[in-house]
A and B are shown apart, each in its own frame.
Chain A
């Protein structure tokens, strides 16, 4: 899940600015997204977990590394290749939206967009 979260937020300018100022951002976002997923209704939670596990395993088989340990470029390239897997876009959208929600709340300085 960390890899998918990072994929969703790393290219946001906002995230890049924050990384310079607050190293706990990743941890906060991961905790928040995990909490949301755990509290999903079971019929949504199950496919989300299954697809996340499949993606993790595929990554291990194809690249030999965990998704969150890949470099940004390799991770993006891997996720682009598997984007046609059923339910991947649903998972990506869910994780992305929740990550955005937390990211913009974690702003340690007044916004100047």
Chain B
């Protein structure tokens, strides 16, 4: 595999060429490049991040974050409050650092895209076969819960049963999971079926090459055809290479893809409608031991309020994450909480907000993401946290630490309701792990960036295949949706050409 992966020092030429240049190696690009390589085309993947094979993964969280995340994990969305966004920047993209949840798109979201956005050919029946292929390729299983491991997830399951809430075993892309509890920093056992483990090796077996640490900075085009890409070598800004191609496939993610299009002067609409999920983390202390570090994340999912855009899951536990999550509480609280480390769990409430972000690409190499906090999201966040709290109290939690600055420890729902009064958006600690819809697909070139075949309206040979193409946010982990869309888009492309 290594001979097919070029690194910083391997770019001995200034110009390269291929039939298909695929920007990115994550969920969308990984699928697209693999399908193209398997259909006999000459494919180059262009990846900004480095190539870190599974054998190089360690349990050293700070080191792995440095290797695998964009900006070492610090990418703020500017607004009030500032949102901490995290995305992968390595061969495999965010599939290497996510929680391995690969869900089908909720049917009502697909219906919404058909009815509200007029999107045809991407309905439940149309995508069914692709979901099946993705589930087979990624070895999707519903995680088995054991009585001794994943006790935090078991708490959610039991509490949901008691409350009569819908809670399901989550579909995860894992093979022989060893419960290392290190999903967000790369699975050291190789159990997580990221594109690094699945699609990319297939592409390489079919002759694809990977240009790692190589960032696409500009698309050069003439008329309605893109000709080549200028790419800079990461860590050596003065060094550039040019790659010419017959067709360009972009799957750089919902922030970087519109940024590249805007910087190249190809689309003004790209990046104006960035939708995302908000994740709120709650630390809970239980009476009994949980040993939540022994286990893995997101094994069960509370879906009772999914239609309202709320999912509740158990996140992974490490002292690092406890300290970071509680940094707004101060060290006295962190010390006290860590004394009871074995009884702690971190839980995540993920919501589908109304707030929308947009991307500015005028300055410098990096995009700036601004968002406006929609006032309705405040009540949505409070409701999400209240429901999470009631579930955790039902499960036996005795103390909750909320992602809200200044409200202190919460020991009952009544206390939480009282403390919610006067909470302002600026007090809330929000994370974002899923971004979508910044180059939406549609039938009208005035409101969408790409047509239903995945091609840019104004360019004959540029196709998009990442989360940016989704008409709106999915309300669930979007990897399954991105991969199913990538299959459909590339199959249409192969059929048409």
Contacts and interface: CB of A to CB of B under 8 A. Distances in A.
A97 B324 contact: yes
Given A12-B331, A100-B323, A39 B71 contact: yes
A105 B61 contact: yes
Interface stretch (A18-26, A40-48, A49-57, A60-68): A40-48
Nearest to A10: B331
B368 A94 contact: no
Contact of B320 (A39, A42, A104): A104
Q: Interface residues of B: mostly helix, strand, loop or mixed?
A: helix
Contacts of A77: none
Interface in A84-100: 90, 93-94, 96-98, 100
B72 interface: yes
Given A94-B74, A97-B324, A14 B368 contact: no
A35 B72 contact: yes
B327 A96 contact: yes
Nearest to A43: B368
Interface string B353-389: 0000000000110101000000000000000000000
B55 interface: no
Contact of B319 (A32, A41, A44, A113): A113
A11 B334 CA distance: 10
B332 A97 contact: no
A100 B366 contact: no
A43 B72 contact: no
A102 B62 contact: yes
A82 interface: no
Contacts of B62: 32, 98, 101-102, 105
A14 B319 contact: yes
Contacts of A96: 327
Nearest to B332: A11
Contacts of A108: none
Nearest to A92: B327
B332 A105 contact: no
Interface in B342-358: 342
B66 A104 contact: no
B320 A105 contact: yes
A13 interface: yes
Nearest to A32: B62
Given A43-B368, A44-B76, A12 B334 contact: yes
- Pick the most buried of B327, B332, B340: most chain A CB atoms within 10 A of its CB: B327
Nearest to B59: A105
A104 to B, nearest CB: 4
B332 to A, nearest CB: 7
A101 B319 CA distance: 9
Contact of A39 (B72, B324, B328): B72
B341 interface: yes
A14 to B, nearest CB: 7
Contacts of A13: 335, 338
A100 B61 contact: no
B66 A35 contact: yes
A42 B368 CA distance: 9
A111 B324 CA distance: 17
A44 B335 CA distance: 30
Nearest to B61: A105
A40 B74 CA distance: 7
A113 B74 contact: no
Interface string B63-93: 1011000011111101000100000000000
B324 A40 contact: no
Interface string A1-30: 000000011011110000000000000000
Contacts of A8: 327, 331
A104 B61 contact: yes
Interface in B47-61: 60-61
Nearest to A12: B331
8 contacts: A32-B62, A40-B71, A41-B75, A42-B363, A43-B78, A94-B74, A105-B61, A113-B340
Interface of B: 60-63, 65-66, 71-76, 78, 82, 318-320, 323-324, 327-328, 331-332, 334-335, 338-342, 363-364, 366, 368
The 3 A-B residue pairs whose C-beta atoms are closest, nearest first, are A113-B341, A100-B323, A104-B320
Given A8-B331, A36-B73, A39-B74, 17 more contacts: A9-B331, A12-B335, A36-B74, A41-B71, A41-B75, A41-B76, A42-B363, A43-B78, A93-B328, A94-B74, A100-B323, A100-B324, A101-B61, A101-B324, A105-B63, A113-B341, A113-B342
